[in-house]
Amino acid sequence: MSDSKWWYGIAIPPALELLGHGGIAALRAFGGLTPGSAPVALGFAFTVVIGLLLIPVFAGSLFFDARAVRDAGGSWTPNPWAWGVGGLLLPVLGLATVSASLMVPIGVVYLWRRFDRDATAPAPDSLDTVDVTDTTDNGIDLGASGRGDDTEAGEVDADTGYDRPISRWWYGVAGTVSLYAVFAVVAALVTGPFNPVGVTPGSTSAVVSLVGGLYLVVSILFLFVTAPIFAVCLWLDAKRLREADVWQPNRLLVGALAVTHLSTMVVSLAMLVTVPGAIGYLLFRWRRVGLFA
C-alpha cells in the first residue's frame, strides 16, 4: 500500500462540506429558522464558498495520491490525470447544474477503492522491488542513479531517459493557472445572478450579494498571493531546464512573461496575456522534455 498522505486532502473537503450542510439542517430543525431566513442563507452561502475554495485542494490531492498509488505497484493503477481533472471539473459542474458539489461521492468512491485490500495488494505478477539505497552490488559502484553507471541524478540518459524529474517548479505554474480557471467559473456562479442595486437591506438577496462581494475581495487577495508564486516558479523551471541542457527556453520571453504576470496584482487584465502564455510554455515543455521531466 502507498504511504502517501495526499488522501487527507481527499477526505477533508467532503467532510467539511457535509459538516456545513449538517449545521444548516440542524439550524432549520432545532433553531426554529425558516428555510429562507438570513442566517440559513448566510450559512448556505458560506458553506458553498468554502467548498468552492477547497475544490482545487481536492483535485490536486486526487492527482498526487493517485500517482503515488499507481507507482506503489498494487493491483489498482488509477489514472492520475483522470482523477485530478475529474475532481476539478465535476464539482464545479455539479454546482452549476444541481447546486451541489460532487466532492462527497467522488471522494467516497476513490477512498473506498484506495483502501480496498485487494486493490492495494501487490500485483501477483509483479517483480520483486529492488532496493537501490545500497550503492554497491558485489563490489560494483552503481553510481548516483543506481543503474551501474556514472549518470548523475537529474541528468539525461540516452537509453533509459530521466533518472528523476529535473524540475518540479512547473507545478507552481500549472497549479496557479488551474486555480485561476476555477476562480473565474466560481465568480460567474456566485456574483453573476446577484445585482446589489435595488436589493432590500436585511433580505436573503442582500446576504447572498454580500457573500458574492466578499468572494471578489478574496479573489483579489488570491491574485496578490499567487502572482509572485507563478512568476518565480516559471523563471526557476526554465532556469533548471537550461542548466540540465535538455531545453533552452528563451530567457527574454520567459522573463517578460514572469514580470508581466507580476503586474496582474495591479492590472488584472494582464492575465489575458500571461495565462495563455503559461499554457503555451507548458505545452512546449511537454513536447520537448515531458511534463514530469
Instruction: Transcribe the chain into DSSP letters.
Output: -----THHHHHHHHHHHHHHHHHHHHHHHHS---TTSHHHHHHHHHHHHHHHHHHHHHHHHHHHHHHHHHHTTBS----HHHHHHHHHHHHHHHHHHHSS--HHHHHHHHHHHHT-HHHHSBPTTPPPPP--SS-EETTEE-TTTTSSS-PPTTSEETTTEESS-S--THHHHHHHHHHHHHHHHHHHHHHTT---TTPPTTSHHHHHHHHHHHHHHHHHHHHHHHHHHHHHHHHHHHHHHHHTTS----HHHHHHHHHHHHGGGT-GGGHHHHHHHHHHHHHHHHHHT-TT-
Q: Dump pLDDT digits (tens) for 177-194.
A: 888 888 777 777 665 554
Percent of the chain with pLDDT over 90: 19
Q: Is the pLDDT of residue 176 over 90?
A: no
pLDDT band at 253 (very low <50, low <70, confident <90, very high): very high
Residue 162 lies in a domain: no
In this predicted model, which residue has the larger pLDDT, 43 or 269? 269
- Same domain flag for 12 and 114: yes
- pLDDT for 280: 93
31-45, 50-64, 72-86: which is most confident: 72-86
Number of domains in the chain: 2
Domain that holds residue 109: 7-120
- Same domain flag for 183 and 282: yes
- pLDDT for 90: 86
Residue 40 in grid coordinates: 440559513
- Same domain flag for 14 and 115: yes
Q: Is 73 left (phi over 0), alpha (psi -120 to 50) or beta?
A: left
- pLDDT for 224: 75
Q: Is the pLDDT of residue 106 over 90?
A: yes
Q: Is the pLDDT of residue 277 over 80?
A: yes
Residue 108 lies in a domain: yes
| Mean pLDDT of the 89-112 span | 83
Out of 120, 136, 170, a domain closes at 120
Mean pLDDT is lowest, of 5-14, 32-41, 218-227, 275-284, for: 32-41
- pLDDT for 50: 63
Q: Is the pLDDT of residue 121 over 60?
A: no
What is the C-alpha separation between 54 and 101, in angstroms, rounded? 11
- Same domain flag for 14 and 86: yes
In this predicted model, which residue has the larger pLDDT, 260 or 33? 260
Residue 134 lies in a domain: no
- pLDDT for 250: 93
* Residue type at 201 in one-letter notation: P
Residue 157 lies in a domain: no
- pLDDT for 97: 75
Closest CA to 195 of 182, 172, 213: 213
In this predicted model, which residue has the larger pLDDT, 187 or 201? 187
- Same domain flag for 11 and 115: yes
Mean pLDDT is lowest, of 174-188, 197-211, 255-269, 278-292, for: 197-211
Residue 264 lies in a domain: yes
CA angle in degrees (0–180, nearest 5) for 165-277-64: 35
Residue 1 lies in a domain: no
Average model confidence (pLDDT) across the chain: 74
Residues recorded for the chain: 293
Residue 23 lies in a domain: yes
Q: Is the pLDDT of residue 67 over 70?
A: yes
Q: Which residues pair with 156 in a beta bridge?
A: 162
Residue 161 lies in a domain: no
Can you give the pTM of this predicted structure? 0.48
